Amino acid sequence: MTTALLVIDFQKGLVATDPLPGDAAAISANISQLTQRARAAKVPVVFVQHEDEELVPGSNPWKIADAAHAQASDYFVSKRTPDSFLNTALGAILAEHAIQHVIICGYATEFCVDTTTRRAAANGLTVTLAADAHTTHDKPHATAASIREHHNRTLSSMRSFGPRISAVLTADIAFQ
């Protein structure tokens, strides 16, 4: 199975903030580990970057967070909605490499990570959600950790798309 790593919205203006997202240091270390292991396995690394009035292309907040170690050889996709496939080049990049499986990590769990995970499965891709490599900020109703846990359990229990969604710890993810 041909695999790609998708790093969703891990941008300075979203994750290098005050306050930091939940478990920021651990999440950053896990994303760094994933990008390095993917490249070592010759797996395409795709960074998806959100654009809006505050995340202006080329601006410092729009740039990929340092911990992700983006490289010029990686792929970069701009988006304007929580769906990384909607009106973007992501589908074409994955098709070009005959990708059948995506590993997803990044920011924000309940928005772009969730939507992209569901859309990938709906598009027929097998999805591995890096269970300890996605995050969000604490909310008035729930902590980032509880939001992450909820999505890990909810997304990995879905069967209606056909392709399987699995929530797997970074250390247990195998790149193929």
Q: Which domains does the chain have, with CATH numbers?
A: 3-172 (3.40.50.850)
Q: Who contacts 44 (Cβ-Cβ below 8 Å, separation ≥6)?
A: 4, 5, 38, 74, 75, 93, 97, 99
Residue 1 has pLDDT above 70, yes or no: no
By C-alpha distance, which of 45, 46, 58, 43 is closest to 12?
A: 58
For residue 130, the Cα-to-chain-centroid distance in whole angstroms is 8
pTM strictly above 0.85:
yes
Contact 133, 34 (CB under 8 A): yes
- pLDDT one-digit tens code per residue, 135-176: 999 999 999 999 999 999 999 999 888 889 999 999 999 997
What ranges in 16-113 are assigned the alpha helix state H?
24-40, 90-96
43, two tokens: 């797996």
Q: What value does the mean pLDDT take over residues 16-34?
A: 97
